[in-house]
Amino acid sequence: MAPDLNTTLSKKTFVFGMKVWVFTGVLVGVFIVIVLVVLSICVTSRRKSRRVSGMLPLSRISIASKEIKEIGVDHVSAIQQGPRPHDGIETESEKVLLYSNKAYDYSISGSDDHTEIYAIGSGEGSKEASVLHRPSDSIPPDTSPLAGLPDFSQLGWGHWFTLRDLELATMHFSNDNIIGEGGYGVVYRGQLMNGTPVAVKKLLNVGQAEREFRVEVEAFGHVRHKNLVRLLGYCIEGTHRILVYEYVDNGNLEQWLHGALSQYGYLTWEARIKILLGTAKALAYLHEAIEPKIVHRDIKASNILIDDEFNAKLSDFGLAKLLGAGKSHITTRVMGTFGYVAPEYAKSGLLNEKSDVYSFGVVLLEAITGRDPVDYGRPTHEVNLVDWLKMMVGSKRSEEVVDPNIERKPSVSELKRALLTALRCVDPDADKRPKMSQVARMLNSEENPIPRQDRRPRKGHATATKMESGKQERGPRRHK
């Protein structure tokens, strides 16, 4: 038998006179190579299709500028007394990031207006644009909070987490890791497997369909600004809907003004203005630099998170609404937080970005005075912060409204600047409220004086006039 097999295998074939055993070996080898090639093609195309399905159509959202621009801001000692939970602010230049995600070909819609938003603060005027443009890759890739996570679960803008990933990150959503609870869910502190600290928001009673949830979330995932909390990714599994944000480690403005963190000392005037200015820039970006614009709908002190350099990070897009191009407003169920909601929105549900401007004005007044927007513990005429403020300014008692916990009081002009800005934001007539880019300019130090047209007394707008002339004003009726 063996000699027969030997003979058979040693016979020559018709292919180049190769012996049978050599020919068989070659065939087996070719077969293995083909199988390997087919397998690798399958794996590559699966990865691609998964990434593509995680992307948003390019038309969905566009970013106004591809560049990173830098804005010089004088930093200040942020808190004035007591043990500090973190170091104060050191003098350095503040970088406002507005950059493209390389995976997308964002369109550039930089109208003059938009450019203005990011040119505030340097005092360098038109030079700034040419000096400060930087290539988008000047953010080192290894600083990405998502670096080192599995490639297959990268979305176009962030990360698609599994429930298991987030269970591991939060010690199985342990109660010890709960940071707080809002109207939409519980927030846990967590750590990704690459070491990045995160805030994990587990939504309750998600009524939205899976696709809508994902589309909305991806719209916000593309939004990037230094003063916006970054959404790093999400998880959809079964009935779970979970959002994963960058972790901001120095509490929120509400805690600093009225809550637990006031035990560490009180924010200085300068720190308050810095936080409000950052918030104004974030809103200017949402309202004026991207398409469709985003109306936040829940601007309030507890949604302004603070990092360890006392930069504002606007958070909580749970209520935010996209406002498509050409739409002046949308009608929606009134949501938001009592004391912060604009009167026209509360009355009719008509929502546009001017509703955010109103709420921002309330937060600014809150920071100036250290008072809650609505405080039933005070005498009747002081319960509503906006009404009381208007009454005080109208009675030429502006200096009495400053938070008594602020040691170094603002100068008369600093106070006037802040009050004037706030009162214009809370104008009962939404059309008369400034745009957030104007608000940011108005708040931004003596170097950028309030533009003439903003000072000019306007018919029906008593507030600005009274601030200038000191005449008495009767506050408008309460809306809520």
Ligand X SMILES: Nc1ncnc2c1ncn2[C@@H]1O[C@H](COP(=O)(O)OP(=O)(O)OP(=O)(O)O)[C@@H](O)[C@H]1O
Binding site for ligand X (CB under 6 A): 179-184, 187, 199, 201, 229, 245-248, 252, 298, 302-303, 305, 315-316
Instruction: Identify the residue whose tokens are 């506050």.
Output: 475
Nearer to ligand X, 100 or 252 (CB): 252
CB 225, min distance to ligand X, A: 14
Q: Longest C-alpha distance within the chain, in Å?
A: 120
* CB closer to ligand X, 305 vs 393: 305
For every residue of 22-76, DSSP letters joined together read HHHHHHHHHHHHHHHHHHHHHHHHHHHHHHHHTSPPGGG-EES-SSBEEE-----
Q: Are 319 and 336 in contact (CB under 8 A)?
A: yes
* Nearest distance, CB of residue 303 and ligand X, angstroms: 5
Task: For ligand X, give the closer residue by CB, 198 or 406.
Answer: 198
CB of 170 to ligand X, least distance (A): 13
Question: Which of 215/335 has CB closer to ligand X?
Answer: 335
How many angstroms separate the CA atoms of 411 and 423, rounded? 18
Distance of CA 261 to the CA centre of its chain: 22
For tokens 């739409």, the residue is: 327
User: Measured from the CB atom, is 188 or 269 closer to ligand X?
Assistant: 188
SS3 305: strand
Q: How far is the CB of 78 from ligand X (least distance, A)?
A: 17
| Nearest distance, CB of residue 220 and ligand X, angstroms | 13
Nearest residue (CB) to ligand X, 247 versus 264: 247
Question: By C-alpha distance, which of 346, 301, 335 is closest to 480?
Answer: 346
Q: Which is nearer to ligand X, 117 or 320 (CB)?
A: 320
CA atoms of 389 and 410, how far apart (whole Å):
17
Query: Which residues neighbour 64 within 8 Å (Cβ) at sequence distance 6 or greater?
Result: 98, 108, 109, 110, 111, 114, 288, 289, 290
In angstroms, how far is CA 328 from the centroid of its own chain? 22
Q: Which of 4, 74, 165, 298 is catalytic?
A: 298
| Side-chain-side CA neighbours of residue 216 (13 Å) | 18
Distance from C-alpha of 242 to C-alpha of 238, rounded to nearest angstrom: 11
Closest separation in Å from C-beta 281 to ligand X = 18
Interior/surface letters 364-394, b for 16+ CB within 10 angstroms, e for the rest:
bbbbbbbbbbbeeeeeeeebbbbbbbbbbbb
Name the minimum Å distance from CB 417 to ligand X: 28
Residue 15: Cβ-neighbour burial (10 angstroms; 0-12, 13-18, 19+): exposed
| C-alpha distance from residue 477 to each of 187, 373, 388, 390, 472 (Å) | 38, 16, 11, 11, 16
Radius of gyration from C-alpha coordinates of the chain: 29
Output DSSP code: residue 458: B
* Nearest to ligand X of 177, 465 (CB atom): 177
Annotated binding-site residue? 201: no
What is the 8-class DSSP label of residue 449? P
Packing angle between helix 462-469 and helix 412-425, nearest 10 degrees?
A: 170
Known active-site residue 298: yes
Nearest to 313 by CA among 199, 191, 145: 199
**Structure token pair of residue 462:** 């008593």
CA–CA separation, 432 and 242 (whole Å)? 39
Minimal distance, residue 259 CB to ligand X, in Å? 9
Binding site residues for ATP, as ranges?
202
Query: Which residues are known to be catalytic?
Result: 298
